[in-house]
Amino acid sequence: MSDQPADPRTLTDDQWRERLTPDEYRVLRKAGTEAPFTGEYTDTTDVGVYRCRACGAELFRSTTKFESHCGWPSFFSPLAGDAVIERPDDSLGMRRTEVLCAACDSHLGHVFAGEGYPTPTDQRYCINSISMTFDAGDA
Ligand SMILES: [Zn+2]
């Protein structure tokens, strides 16, 4: 993406609407959630890097993706600790932890811990496919 501004945080809401499709905008900028088992990367096992669809920042590697059967792409760790921001989310009457892109503050999904998945962290970064783009072969 060559037309990225130096700091995507400076984009206005109208500019985001122009840059994203309506579905991307609803998830990335309005903290929406795609329907389970519909995202294009739910079952992807190819080797590569997942980037933020809003700003292009690298977020997750395929080596941390695991089969959670929850209906969304799941990772046990972000690519780097500072690639994402985590913050409390009390919407829908639940205490969850929202995951956002650290570079542009776009909504990615939620992270859950202690569910018993056999991964090194026992965390599940449950990320909307529509929040990401996949670059194959660079993990
Ligand atoms: Zn981003």
CA 113 / ligand 1 centre spacing (Å): 23
Q: Which residue of the set 55, 101, 104, 126 is catalytic? A: 126
Mean pLDDT across 97-126: 97
Tokens, residue 93: 């009457």
Cα distance between residue 23 and residue 44, in whole Å: 20
Higher-scoring residue by pLDDT: 139, 48: 48
Cα torsion angle, 31, 32, 37, 41, sign: negative
CA of 112 to the centre of ligand 1 (A): 21
**Which has more pLDDT, 62 or 92?**
62
pTM of the model: 0.92
Q: Where are the domains of the chain?
A: 9-136
Q: Is 92 exposed, middle or buried (0-12, 13-18, 19+ CB in 10 A)?
A: exposed
CB neighbours (10 Å) of residue 9? 11
pLDDT at 3: 59
Q: Hey, which CATH number is domain 9-136, 2.40.50.100, 2.170.150.20, 3.40.50.2000, 2.60.120.10?
A: 2.170.150.20
> Is 70 an annotated catalytic residue?
no
Q: 20-34, pLDDT tens digit by residue?
A: 999 999 999 999 999
